[in-house]
Amino acid sequence: MTRRMAILLLALSFEIALLPFVGHTQYQRKTLIAHRGASAYAPEHTVDAYRLAMAQGADYVEQDLQITKDGVLVCLHDLTLERTTNVEDIYPDRFVTEGSQRHWYVADFTLAEIKRLDAGSWFSDKFKGAQVPTWQEAVDLVKGNAGLYPETKAPEVYGSRGFDMENLLVESLRKNNLDRPQSEEKAPLIIQSFSAASLKRLKSEFNVQVPLVLLVEEKDRDLLAPNRLQEIRKYATGIGPAKEIIDQNPPVVVYAHDAGLSVTPYTFRSASTGLFKRVRDEMEYFLAHLNVDAVFTDNPDQFPRN
């Protein structure tokens, strides 16, 4: 990081502390979303990661949603189990071969079978025995302590298997009284997805009235043109772009705010800070200088709150 950048960041640290929040009204202040929980310090999408995220001051805790063979929403980033569990040891013959690789798909296992898996040892022996949580378990843990930030993950893939992810999620929201704005004060919730079709269904078919955020990969940066953002505003309240898109195109935030959309880039982590010495510095630059509304981070404790 250059000396000029260091001076700028020092000035910006005062700006965050002293200036009123001027971002999108979806958030009441510059907002911290714990990416898969406090995933820099505990195995992602485990109770340990969620609890630590809340202890570190997360405004929202993120949950990626997958569906088990018996139709239960669980919190896991991947469509498959092998990266973050010991499924290969417990169910060595239950894989699907794709090319030269073997995969154990979540949708091929019941919840009871998935609960047998160790979802913590891959990260550290300290977390041996951690389980894959259900979405309901995440709701019970986080509700009242922080906001929930579920993602409908690969809904089209699950649709091809006969599952309706949006319907499962909406049923759960209604059961937990989380589908209406009046629930916002005690249990704020935002739904995100890379699938525009998923968000459109939630808004038009299910009449979900909580904020909806369209995630945008770097390869889809054309979605961030002003006219495209106006189209997104018809079914979403915000965008969640890869941070690289924001850094290379600062006007994106201006265009999004002009369209009435919040901006929540991903993912800020201590393991990858680009030109910045610390992840705190990187988040500070995006929040104060580029004026994004919130950030997804693996390091909730490094969020520049003041």
Q: Which residues are catalytic?
A: 35, 77
Dihedral in degrees, nearest 10, Cα atoms 205, 210, 215, 221? 80
Cα-Cα-Cα-Cα dihedral sign, residues 246, 250, 251, 255: positive
Which amino acid, 86? N
Residue among 80, 144, 133, 87 at smallest CA distance from 107: 80
Q: CB of 38 within 8 A of CB of 301?
A: yes
Paired sense of beta strands 73-75 and 60-67, if any: antiparallel
Residue 218 structure tokens = 């770097």
CA distance 84 to 169: 23
Antiparallel, parallel or unpaired: β 294-297 and 238-241:
unpaired
